[in-house]
Amino acid sequence: MSYKITLIPGDGIGPELTEATVRVLEASGVDFQWDVQQAGIDVMAECGTPLPETVLESIRRNKVALKGPITTPVGKGFRSVNVALRKSLNLYSCVRPCKSYDGVPVTFRNVDIVIFRENMEDLYAGIEFELGKAETLELITDIERLNGNKILFDSGITIKPISITNSNKILRAAFEYAVKNNRRKVTAVHKANIMKYTDGLFLHLAAEMALQYPQIEFEDRIVDNMCMQLVKDPTQFDVIVLPNLYGDILSDLCAGLVGGLGVAPGANIGDEYAVFEPTHGSAPKYKGMNKANPMAQMLSGVMMLRHLGEYEAANLVEKAMAEVIAEGKYVSYDLLPLNDRARAVGTAEVATAIIERMQNA
């Protein structure tokens, strides 16, 4: 069977990681027809937008996409293409496994956490009111009129919506995953002590949902405490479910616990479409240097293979990657101790080593 997949190389380090990933996925024996679509900072000039409609059309047609990272200008410029993709395609679950592989220099062994991050709303939804704009001043006046809270007129405002609909979708996804994958526990993360009407709602819904899954242990943690608990002993956690912004932040924290962003894959999944992409960004300083670790994107490809039902190919690729990491000879700089990085190999060489392992399996 041949799979038609939308392939978005992205920008920054995206194209070189995508090329390495495609080589490895094709070596698994699965037949792909890549529908290559350009998005990101490099197509702005040509297309007038970093997310041409043709990209979304391609994903709607093919249902599945593999994507490299895409730059979002900080504090100015265009809004996040990544957020736009997730929202336009209703990809409400962001699934990010953080698993420790033998050979990576880390403090904790046996970390195996899967993050379920709500992808559609929260402070991350991009509902913003700019400093000094008429609508911002009107909103400030309305807020004082409606609930008595004074906001200074020299403020910018970002809105944090948390709905029953979207919370239940991510909660359902997390518990269903736990059941199907023999996981023991789901931890809901929030700041419900302070944000009672948003995080409080999320927590309430999580506790209600947990009642439907008596075989899964359920607990909750306030997000600041959760950060401390994670760095003290991450092995106590299993499946973590949380609103969008905390999910974004804790994804990087958990990636750090298992060796860094170079080994942290991800998937954005909705009822109709799925887009697989690493947790990390476009790391522009490494663009075109054949230096960045392609493994996070390759592991996103492994998640995609499993999503397609290609379990044997997925296991073949993941096993070869684990062996290459454990051997430690053909790994990128980030998987080596600081004093031993001179012997790191490049992005393309990592792919070659993995392919050789697969061929000798």
Write down the least CB distance from residue 105 to ligand NAD, Å.
Answer: 14
Look up residue 356 and give its two tokens: 């050789």
The two tokens of residue 301 are 């490809």
DSSP characters over 192-244:
TTT-TTTHHHHHHHHHHHHHT-TTSEEEEEEHHHHHHHHHH-GGG--EEEE-H
Nearer to ligand NAD, 72 or 187 (CB): 72
**d(Cα 190, Cα 286) in Å, to the nearest integer?**
35
Residue type, 279: T
Interacting residues toward ligand NAD by CB under 6 A: 69-72, 82, 261-262, 277, 280-283, 285, 292-293, 296, 334
Instruction: Please tell me which residue in 67, 92, 101, 124 is annotated as part of the active site.
Output: 124
Query: For residues 70, 48, 66 and 336, what is the CA-based torsion angle, rounded to 10 degrees?
Result: -20
- Choosing from 42, 122, 220, 248, the catalytic residue is 248
C-beta closer to ligand NAD: residue 45 or 74 = 74
Q: Which of 102, 142, 224, 340 is catalytic?
A: 224
* Pair of tokens at residue 212: 């439907």
Q: For residue 187, give the nearest of 245, 135, 109, 247 by alpha carbon.
A: 247
CB neighbourhood size of 336 (10 A) = 18
The single residue of 67, 191, 199, 286 carrying the catalytic annotation is: 191
- CB-facing half-sphere around the CA of 62: CA atoms within 13 A: 25
Query: Given the complex with ligand NAD, which of 17 and 216 has the nearer CB atom?
Result: 17
The minimum distance between CB 284 and ligand NAD, in angstroms, equals 6
Minimum CB distance to ligand NAD, residue 60 (Å) = 20
> Which residue is nearest to ligand NAD, using beta carbons?
281
Q: What minimum distance in Å lies between the beta carbon of 123 and ligand NAD?
A: 15
Q: Which is nearer to ligand NAD, 121 or 277 (CB)?
A: 277
Minimum CB–partner distance for residue 70 and ligand NAD (Å): 4
Q: Which of 83, 131, 26 is CA-nearest to residue 354?
A: 26
Q: Is 191 a catalytic residue?
A: yes
**Known catalytic residue at 169:** no
Find, among 97, 89, 98, the residue nearest to 269 by Cα: 89
Contact criterion met (CB below 8 Å) for 313 and 319: no
Residue with Cβ nearer ligand NAD (167 or 268): 268
- DSSP 3-state of 93: strand
| Catalytic residue annotation | 124, 191, 224, 248
